[in-house]
Structure 1
Amino acid sequence: MPKLSRILLIAGLAAGLAACSIKKNDLADPPVPLGDFVLGHNIVIPDNLEMVPLSREASKEEWKEVMTKAMEDRFGRYEGTRMYDFGVALNAYALAPPGVPVVAAPKSVLVITVNIWDDATQTRLNPKPKQLTIFEDLSADTVIGSGITRNKRKQMETLSYLAVQKIQDWLVRNPQWFTDNPQVGDNTENDPNPLAPFMAQAGVTPEEAAASPSAQIAPPAAVPATEAIAVAPIAATPAVPAN
């Protein structure tokens, strides 16, 4: 078994054993409190997305579509008045392929980097880009191997749903962002990145994977362009009155 595949298998099994219960779909529940939050710009950046060898292949456009929808499904439910902008850089992924024996069935995994901005002040609230690693949920079919029981689209939708759920957990752990005077800071640490060895072989560091030309959109004057690693908000577009 290639070295990276062993890394993914061990990491996937560890994640599965650590998850004692399956996360239910909570989108029908009331949104968790986030102050006066309303979703502003929802920018998903797939430019530097890397695929791990032996993975099912998915295009950058497919990933962007699925992740954008997952962000809208969760954060589009809020009806506050203070706008927050997101930049989500898709770094690397592995979608468990079909036909892998149970004994070696790897879990699909996705690595992303996230920035959140206070739209009103054009301030990035997390001092450093937030790296998150997402494994498939623990269920009967992922124990067998989701490459056998789930098609590619379902794997992507599951990982994107869990990724945005993890972004929500990150927001909840930083209540200082959701006040009348949002404060810069982050009360959390970045997740380990099991795909880092592959990204290094491909010549892409996690920091580079979070940066892309399309992410350097009009950085705020207070933040040098070289520091606008994921995404800077775009000036709000006035609403067009309905005819």
Structure 2
Amino acid sequence: MRNFLALLGLIGLTACGGIRDDLANAPDAIGAFRLGHNIAVVNEPVQGPFSRTVSDDAWQAAMVTAVQDRLGEARYFGDKFFHVGVAVEGYVLAYPGVPLVYSPKSVLIFTVNFFEDSTQEKLNDEAIQITVFEPCCNIPLIGTGFTRSAEEQMEGLSFTAARAIERTMRQNADWFGGTPEILEADDTILEGNVLEDNPDLIAPPQEPPAELLAQTNPPGTIGLP
């Protein structure tokens, strides 16, 4: 089992490298967009089932960093400043669970709003609510609780959240003086709140067998909460 988990973790990390490489690519402009204020608000978000706990400050720092890395002046340097405001509403940072039987997934639920600096106008009518899953987290039969720490899970979710924000901007590029794009679906990004709309995507409804749980989580290890 230990070798099996190590192999799956290696596969996930190898695949993830390709996704992360996109930050090194020079993106096409999104109209006149240039990042102004980069704001992340985290105020006791809902913690979903089978989740590790992290502080609001940690989430705030992770989101600000991810948005800056993706949308900052190193990548977008248009003629007009726009502000991006994110509010973290809920999350699951999956515990190890039971491999092959019970593998909860990690998700982040947030809303995002866009504002033009010169007019202070809000560009979207209503806050845009998005759920993201970790990049490369869909390794068959196992969740990332076995292969990543809480900090690594949070960083991966923030990375995907920033990518989801960038995709939303491209799909609505007219807000920034550009031409809207039609993008292919991404199965790590969903509209809405998965904790409310479809919680079975995070964890199956049944409890894992107690004897298997005991075998997988010996004394002194982290298991289900």
TM-score normalised by length of structure 1:
0.64
1:205-240 deviations in Å (ceiling 9; x for gaps): xxxxxxxxxxxxxxxxxxxxxxxxxxxxxxxxxxxx
Q: Indicate the percent of aligned positions where both proteins have the same amino acid.
A: 40
1:88-237 map, 5 Å: 88-139=86-137, 143-179=141-177, 191-196=191-196
Structure 2 alignment gaps of length 5 or more: 1-14, 180-189, 200-225
Matched position secondary structure for 2:165:
helix
Structure 1 residue ranges (4+ consecutive) displaced by more than 4 angstroms after TM superposition:
139-143
How many positions carry a matched residue from both structures?
Answer: 171
- The 8 Å contact of residues 87 and 111 in structure 2, kept in 1 or not, is answered as yes
Aligned counterpart for 1:49 among listed residues 45, 49, 68: 45
**What is the Cα deviation at residue 115 of structure 1?**
0.3
Q: Give the Cα–Cα distance (whole angstroms) in 1 for the partners of residues 28 and 93 of structure 2.
A: 30
Aligned to 2:57: 61
Identify if the C-alpha distance between structure 1 residues 114 and 46 changes in structure 2 by more than 3 Å, giving closer, same or farther: same
Identify if the C-alpha distance between structure 1 residues 74 and 48 changes in structure 2 by more than 3 Å, giving closer, same or farther: same
Structure 1 alignment gaps of length 5 or more: 1-20, 183-189, 200-243
> Aligned partner of 2:29: which letter?
P
Aligned to 1:29: 25
1:27-59 deviations in Å (ceiling 9; x for gaps): 000123212211101110001411113201111
TM-score normalised by length of structure 2:
0.69
Identify if the C-alpha distance between structure 1 residues 139 and 191 changes in structure 2 by more than 3 Å, giving closer, same or farther: closer
Q: Give the Cα–Cα distance (whole angstroms) in 2 for the partners of residues 140 and 129 of structure 1.
A: 28
